[in-house]
């Protein structure tokens, strides 16, 4: 199993769209994919399910110390409308994660919850080829712990300077906690998403260079109106011959991360 996180401390940069499309492409290739939706807005949850009865979420398993031991993630996993893609859904309860964690766990345990969840459910996790995690822009203790456990973190950025700030904030957070918890800093891949060639792109590339943010993915996902129209119908990008540019970019990206 390989764990891939899609995160930036900035919203509307294309995290959820990337997560869905990577999942869909891997699933097409007969890989078994588990999505974990950590965003209380539950965007990916709604987009991959026909009828959403999202009364369970990852919070259930960390709600108490006994829950961590007793609840198995298999009880949280649901099938989606797509073959080979399962999901641990999100709902608004996720807004309570930080408060719950702070009331229940010690400083030492707080940022290592995903390790505990993994260890208690190793067999189930290892049943999947890929675990893909979609994050909200505000990340809590559980998010940090999943980020530290990830094999790779894809950080989408667009032409807005805010998204680079989101990337730098995320790197600072990870550097801080990895040092504190004596963990290796996960492999970060910066991905340009929603890009139009031109002056803005040059400015962004210069800025990345200046800040020594050089772990940039070779592929970039160009701007496409299509992304808005296919939000609830993922297969269209992969079955429509016109979207070859996006498909190619996705294939390159996936080749880099798998
Ligand atoms: N490459 C792209 N080109 C054009 N629109 C995009 C692209 N990627 C994402 N979008 C659109 O931008 C909006 C935000 O994307 P989303 O994936 O929900 O971002 P996030 O999860 O980071 O908040 C959505 O309407 C989505 O369709
Ligand atoms: Mg999102």
pLDDT in tens, 212-245: 998 999 999 988 887 777 777 777 778 778 888 8
The tokens for 74 are 């298999």
Closest to 18 measured CA to CA, from 251, 256, 250? 250
pLDDT tens track of the chain, all 258 residues?
999 999 999 999 999 999 999 999 999 999 999 999 999 999 999 999 877 788 899 999 999 999 998 999 999 999 999 999 999 999 999 999 999 999 999 999 999 999 999 999 999 999 999 999 999 999 999 999 999 999 999 999 998 899 999 999 999 999 999 999 999 999 999 999 998 888 888 999 999 999 999 899 999 998 888 777 777 777 777 877 888 888 899 999 999 999
pLDDT, tens digit (0-9, with 9 covering 90-100), for 33-74: 999 999 999 999 999 987 778 889 999 999 999 999 899 999
Backbone φ and ψ for 9, nearest 5 degrees, come out as: -80, 35
Domains and CATH numbers, the chain: 2-245 (3.40.50.300)
Q: Could you tell me the distance, in angstroms and rounded to a whole number, from the CA of residue 15 to the centre of ligand 1? A: 7
10 lines ligand 1 (CB under 6 A): no
Tell me the best of 9, 10, 14 to mutate to test the pocket of ligand 1, counting ligand atoms within 8 Å of each CB and taking the most.
14
Q: Name the DSSP letter for residue 10.
A: S
Separation CA 153–CA 167 (nearest Å)? 11
pTM score, whole prediction: 0.97
For the CA of 19, the closest atom of ligand 1 is 17
Region of 7 (left: φ > 0; alpha: ψ -120 to 50; beta: rest) is beta
* Cα–Cα distance measured from residue 42 to residue 76, given in angstroms and rounded to the nearest whole number: 15
- Closest alpha carbon to 44 in 93, 87, 98, 95: 87
142 CA from centroid of ligand 2 (Å)? 17
Cβ(40) to ligand 1 under 6 A? no
């Amino acid at each position: 199993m390989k764990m891939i996180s899609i995160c930036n401390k900035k919203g509307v940069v294309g995290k959820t769209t990337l997560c869905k499309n990577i999942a869909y492409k891997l699933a097409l290739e007969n890989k078994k994919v588990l999505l974990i939706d950590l965003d209380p807005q539950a965007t990916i949850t709604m987009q991959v399910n026909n009828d959403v009865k999202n009364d369970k979420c990852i919070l259930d398993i960390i709600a108490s110390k006994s829950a961590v031991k007793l609840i198995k993630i298999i009880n949280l996993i649901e099938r989606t409308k797509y073959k080979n893609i399962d999901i641990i859904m999100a709902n608004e309860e996720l807004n309570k994660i930080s408060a719950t964690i702070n009331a229940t766990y010690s400083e030492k345990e707080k940022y290592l919850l995903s390790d505990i969840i993994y260890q208690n459910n190793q067999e189930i996790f290892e049943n999947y080829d890929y675990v893909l995690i979609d994050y909200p822009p505000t990340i809590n203790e559980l998010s940090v712990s999943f980020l530290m456990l990830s094999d790779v973190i894809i950080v989408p950025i667009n032409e807005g300077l805010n998204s680079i700030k989101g990337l730098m904030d995320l790197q600072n957070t990870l550097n801080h906690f990895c040092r504190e918890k004596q963990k290796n800093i996960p492999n970060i891949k910066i991905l340009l998403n929603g890009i139009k060639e031109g002056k803005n792109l040059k400015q962004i590339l210069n800025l990345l260079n200046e800040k020594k943010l050089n772990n940039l993915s070779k592929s970039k996902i160009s701007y496409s109106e299509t992304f808005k129209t296919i939000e609830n119908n993922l297969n269209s990008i992969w079955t429509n011959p016109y979207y070859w540019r996006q498909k190619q970019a996705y294939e390159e990206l996936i080749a880099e991360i798998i």
